[in-house]
A and B are shown apart, each in its own frame.
Chain A
Amino acid sequence: DAGVIQSPRHEVTEMGQEVTLRCKPISGHDYLFWYRQTMMRGLELLIYFNNNVPIDDSGMPEDRFSAKMPNASFSTLKIQPSEPRDSAVYFCASSLALSGGGGGEQYFGPGTRLTVT
């Protein structure tokens, strides 16, 4: 199993540019999550999908951020326009549906390190 795949691994862009981060979840997983990690705020959940449908986007910081999941094997997180304060590591994770209990094991990708200058 290839695990969760994210691209690019590193992205450097100028303020005002559009940035698109990509994620391929583990095949067969029902849930997909986007997280952001910063020194100040740690690891924060931005949005998550179930069967390609966005369930909760309350963690998305601003309207500049948007996420889509057009099919079960692909998701994007877009920032438009980007700002220096968006600089962070963005992780994608996926998991199986649970028959009971909360949380559960999420499998994380290696992350995309975004730098906005």
Chain B
Amino acid sequence: DQQVKQNSPSLSVQEGRISILNCDYTNSMFDYFLWYKKYPAEGPTFLISISSIKDKNEDGRFTVFLNKSAKHLSLHIVPSQPGDSAVYFCAASEGAGSYQLTFGKGTKLSVIP
């Protein structure tokens, strides 16, 4: 049973527009969430994270929103650039100091020039 779900396998967005990637989780013990980006033939790279005590975290063009009551988080990329084309993974961990990450299956984002 998948505890972290990314229901959209793929997403296409025009360059300059907003990209919104969604993630749902079922484990109420999860309290720390991360987004990773992965290019072909490379390992995932960390993008942004958020603790459950916050509902928003921003880093440049990337913003993550967390809705704990809905067990939902989203990653917004504004404006989208062709270099953002990659697979984006949502990940979660439970408990302070937990190093065990549970990943979603990923969403492939294509930014069209």
A55, A56, A100: the one within 8 Å of B96 (CB): A100
Task: Assess the B98–A105 pair: CB atoms within 8 A.
Answer: no
Question: Shortest Cβ distance from B53 into chain A, in angstroms?
Answer: 10
Minimal Cβ-Cβ distance residue in A for B91: A103
**Contact-residue size bin, chain A (C-beta under 8 Å from the other chain):** 20 to 34
Residues of B with C-beta under 8 A to A104 = 32, 49, 99
Is B34 engaged at the interface, CB distance under 8 Å to the other chain?
yes
**Interface window among A14-22, A42-50, A62-70, A79-87:** A42-50
Task: Assess the A102–B43 pair: CB atoms within 8 A.
Answer: no
Residues of A with C-beta under 8 A to B105 = 42-43
Task: Assess the B43–A101 pair: CB atoms within 8 A.
Answer: no
Is A72 engaged at the interface, CB distance under 8 Å to the other chain?
no
Is B45 engaged at the interface, CB distance under 8 Å to the other chain?
yes
Name A's interface SS: strand
Inter-chain CA distance A101–B97, complex, in Å, is: 5
Minimal Cβ-Cβ distance residue in B for A104: B99
Task: Assess the B97–A100 pair: CB atoms within 8 A.
Answer: yes
Question: Shortest Cβ distance from B113 into chain A, in angstroms?
Answer: 27
Task: Assess the A102–B104 pair: CB atoms within 8 A.
Answer: no
Inter-chain CA distance A93–B32, complex, in Å, is: 18
A interface, CB within 8 angstroms of B: 4, 31, 33, 42-45, 48, 50, 55-56, 91, 93, 95, 98, 100-111
B interface, CB within 8 angstroms of A: 2, 31-34, 36, 41-46, 49, 51, 89, 91-106
* Beyond A102-B31, A102-B93, 7 extra complex contacts between A and B, CB < 8 Å: A42-B106, A43-B89, A50-B99, A98-B99, A100-B96, A102-B95, A103-B98
